[in-house]
Structure 1
Amino acid sequence: MADLTGRSMEPAVWPPCDFHLADWSMEPAGAAWVADEFVWSTEMLGTCFQTYVPSSPSGGQLQQVQYAAATQKSPCEEEAHPQNKMEMEIRDPMQVFEKTAHEFEVDIDMFDRKMHRYPGLIRRLSDGNKNYTTPVTVAIGPYYHGKDHLKPAEKVKYVAAYHCIMESGHSVQEMYDAVVSVAGEARGLYDKDVMAGISDNDFEPMMFYDACFLVQFMLKLTGSNLNSYLSRYFKGNMNDIFRDILLLENQLPWRVVETVMWFRQVSLPKLVNSLKNGLQDRKVRGRKPLDWEEKYKPPHLLGLVRFYIVGRSKPKPNRQPLPRLESVSISVGAMELAESGIMLTANKTSDLVDMGIDTKGPFCAELSLAPLSLNDLRSVWLVNMAAFELSTTLEFQGRDAEDEASAVCSYLLLLAMFVDKEEDVHQLRTQSVLQGGGGLTNKEALSFFTSLQDLPLGSRYVRTMREIENYRNKQRRKRTRCHAFFHKNWRIMATVFSAVAALITILSTLASLKKQ
């Protein structure tokens, strides 16, 4: 029996766990599953499940043999007909073009769900001493799997899987079969060149163990009760694990995570609510409850967290469409803003997309941005959210561009625009845009922001610059009108001022005489 994808619906073969996925054999070597029971090895960190499912001959293997037999030619045939071979290769080049075009279209259709690699701009950020891209503790998914410095966490994955199964109330076979049923879809979301060197026999158990580890860590973040030893491990490595699971190239397709969460439930609203304001040190009591979006389907955990940190654009009351401007500056310094009467301030929502100009009077306005407490962890977090936008946003500007799609890049680019020296960073602190006493120093923050000045201009950034230019134009017109008024009426005003001054002098004299 097979499902719609052609995958056999027989129970998946369980691989042994000797920490060398490349050596795992999928051949039957032991007793089959008995009902919902399984045997757990006493050497939890050295071996794993000791039971296997006998596998039936695979139709896929037979097809491969038939295909090989059909396409294989003898050396004599190739020597005798070399021109025929060339003719077959060039007979219909349109088939090659059509195949390439179809694969390209499929990739575009899956663009927002793929497990992207880092774009060149982000890779260049990590060329120096700062590492924004490589996990330090745990590999999630295939891109960094097997790296020597990450192998200790592989043992913990088996422990996490064991407790995930035991706490779910389901059998290991049920959970593993469920993950295998979506592994084929997940495989197609990763980089093809990387996946070419990884067999299904290695990939499927990788998805299972990584998903169990990730789900158990998510439960830890929500305050759920876990095995005390596993909980202590998570607590002792909290920042490093949290950093690693939010790296762009260290992600699991959300379909795989959801599959394990079906057995071991995680309160996603509670998880996201605890992470939504993770860019600030200041915690506000009685904050508005999280507005959970049931329709949003993230590609992975990083996408989920970023979605709620960015927030959703809300039209401000009485906001008029911006007039057509002859020219707009794409950059403006903090000094120019101050001279125009625009002061930087922290917004009230903490949503990254909530940025822009608010007029506070005839001669002053505020440019509000989400507050930020900048440290090493948050700098990595911000860079990877920006990397996600660079990888998944097809249109940063234009009529169809959404502010939310490039909000992190817009936010970082605005902050980068205001700093040229350490004193500028200090000024951001005095204006409460940068908050907290710890974290990056002014010098480190300056280096971080200036390294991001090549980010593309997002739609929210462009609108904010248009708002600034529009406000400055209004101020210039006001100054021009004031100047024209004084120039036209200066004689009358001088006469009035002289009369007022004389009157004040007379009144002062009379008051002094009365006192005498």
Structure 2
Amino acid sequence: MEWNLCLIGQKTTEPPQRHRRIDKLPPLLIKGEKGRRNQEYYEPAVVSLGPYHHNRPDLAQAEKYKLITLEEFSFSSGRKIDYLYNKVFEVVHDARKCYIDGSTDDYNDEEFNRMMLRDACFVLFFIECLSLSNKKVMLNNEYLGALGFANVVRDIFLLENQIPFVVLEVLLDLRFDDKGEKVLNGFFNYLNYGELIPREELKVLEDEYPLHLLELYRSYFISLSRFGLSSTISSRWRKWTKKTDAEEDYNYVKRNRSFASVMELKAKGIFVKCSYDESTNEDIKFHSRCCYGELELVRRAVSSNSKAIYLNMIAYEMCPHNPNDFRVSTYIRVMKSLIVHPDDVKELRNSSILLHTLGRDEEVVKMYDEIEVPAVNLYMFNQLRRGIEKHCKNKYKTWAAELITVYFSSPWKTVALLVASAILFTTFLQTYFTIRPLPDDSNENIIKLLRRCARYKPPSLP
């Protein structure tokens, strides 16, 4: 019942008897061809966080830097390291329970607590420096190098590289008066929009307690990734589509099929539009107007770390014991349908919807193509796809859209159309009066009328 409520978009309450864990990567995600190519995006490149990749020789450089970040966090919070150690030790048993059974057996409480403290301080120090534009962010370049610094963000959001949020919360309470709300908000805005300005109407810490940072960011991400559908459909059309929708409910292939790309939708009269009103909590909205359609999308920033973050959020949704609505997977699936050609990316850029730092638009197409989406929320995906397909099947709207896109897409095309229409009209009149000339009497009457108009003088004013 809980899964069914998730799939139809209703919020569920987690049963108290379920004990969620920080899972490892589901093996099926890396068995296919794309999965094997994407395997590197699930493994840390610079720093290990937590016990799953601890003591890897290739990540030893970051272990030295963790001691620096521990000292810096101690100095910034005004607390001694011993005090921080004791506060984290109060939740060490709860933190140990967050990992799968047997993964922490090699560490006693003292060793495990030391690991949690160093890793958590590393994460929070990096987030604080980046979010508040702190000059200490240059320490990352000094100890990890430019390439190492560029990969820290992706390592923080790996599924197998998570720190229990119960540990992060202890340190956030000691460092910030608002439990780190502003810092986390600014950091998540940087990932989503490429800017550090906090959006106060968006809350990252809600009633549901997050298990780790990846889950918290996913909650923030999907708060902007809801699907809306607004269209006007006649009763006769609705009666026919209701029967079609019922047939599709039992056909997985029809329900799971993709829709047209951005440029194909534009040819059908559906134009993409950037939605700046994020208070509605809807990332994708479709409106079917009188003679055109609008697909509203909230703007997003795509960087070199986006692929790893998307893949690990999808992996989180694929893990067992995590009933959810597959919101991130559905969003990525929609974007995979919309972006199949560099012209699609160009159109999204020109509409201020997509901002990317990958160099070429082809790289964005390649990124979305290489992301595998095993499952989506068919209810949400179908609502959007059906609305678009119903609009495209309306001949009146598609013909009106073709007229607009072909002949009125620019001022020069509009002028050319008017000139061509004037020439065609005058040619028609000339041909018509050549075949059927006016009678001579009518010609004389027209000439007399013109002469009278020429001799007419308006009466003088008194």
The verdict on a shared fold, with TM-score over 0.5 as the criterion, is yes
1:241 aligns with 2:157: no
User: Post-superposition shift, 1:386?
Assistant: 2.3
> 1:423/1:325 Cα in 2 relative to 1: closer, same or farther (>3 Å)?
farther
Which secondary structure state, in structure 2, belongs to the residue aligned with residue 358 of structure 1? strand
Aligned to 2:455: none
8 Å contact 1:220–1:231 — kept in the other structure? no
SS in 2 for 1:244: helix
Instruction: For 1:116-515, list aligned pairs within 5 A.
Output: 116-120=23-27, 122-123=29-30, 125=34, 127-128=36-37, 131-223=40-132, 230=139, 233=142, 237-265=148-176, 268-279=180-191, 289-291=201-203, 293-311=205-223, 324-327=242-245, 328=248, 329=254, 330-334=257-261, 337-338=265-266, 340-349=268-277, 353-359=282-288, 361-391=289-319, 394=322, 405-430=325-350, 432-436=352-356, 438-439=357-358, 441-458=360-377, 459-472=379-392, 475=394
- Residues 47 and 152 of structure 2 are in contact (CA less than 8 Å); yes or no, is this contact kept in structure 1? yes
- The Cα RMSD (Å) is 4.2
Number of residue-to-residue matches in the alignment: 378
**Tell me, what secondary structure is at the counterpart of 2:90?**
helix
1: CA distance between counterparts of 2:200 and 2:243?
Answer: 38
TM-aligned CA deviation for residue 455 of structure 1: 3.1
Give the distance between the partners of 1:180 and 1:298, measured in 2 at CA. 20
AA partner of residue 295 (structure 1) = D
- For the residue of structure 2 that corresponds to 1:344, the secondary structure is strand
Q: Deviations over 1:59-104 (max 9, x none)?
A: xxxxxxxxxxxxxxxxxxxxxxxxxxxxxxxxxxxxxxxxxxxxxx
TM-score (norm 1): 0.61
Secondary structure, aligned partner of 2:293: strand
Match of residue 115 from structure 1:
22
Return the letter of the residue paired with 2:127.
M
Greater share of helix: 2
Distance 2:26 2:302 in 1: 23
Q: Which has the higher contact order (CA 8 A, sep 6+)?
A: 2
Task: Name the amino acid aligned to 2:222.
Answer: V
Amino acid at match of 2:119: D
Is the Cα–Cα contact under 8 Å of residues 413 and 455 in structure 1 kept in the other structure? no
> Does the CA contact (< 8 Å) of 1:277 and 1:309 recur in 2?
no
Structure 1 residues 447 and 286 mapped into 2: Cα distance closer, same or farther (>3 Å)? closer
C-alpha contact 1:140 1:250 (8 A) present in aligned 2:
yes
CA 1:227–1:336 in 2, change beyond 3 Å: closer, same or farther? Answer: closer
Task: State the shift of 1:118 in Å.
Answer: 2.0
1:331-352 Cα deviation digits (max 9, x unpaired): 2222653454322333324699
Paired amino acid for 1:358: H
**TM-score, L = length of structure 2:** 0.67
Task: Tell me the residue number matched to 2:424.
Answer: none
Question: Aligned-pair distance for 1:255?
Answer: 0.2
Equivalent residue of 1:190, what SS?
Answer: coil
Deviation, 1:393, is 7.6
**What letter is aligned with 1:445?**
V
Q: Distance in 1 between matches of 2:199 and 2:72?
A: 34
Change (3 A) 1:106 1:141: farther
Q: Is the 8 A contact 2:127 2:187 kept in 1?
A: no
* Contact 1:254 1:299 (8 Å CA) reproduced: yes
Alignment partner, residue 402 of structure 2: none
For residue 250 of structure 1, what is the amino acid of its counterpart? Answer: N
Query: Structure 1 411/315 Cα, relative in aligned 2: closer, same or farther at 3 Å?
Result: closer
User: Cα gap change, 1:420/1:152 in structure 2, threshold over 3 Å: closer, same or farther?
Assistant: same
1:442-498 CA deviation, whole Å, 9 max, x = no partner?
43323322223543122432321132234345x259899xxxxxxxxxxxxxxxxxx
SS at match of 2:210: coil
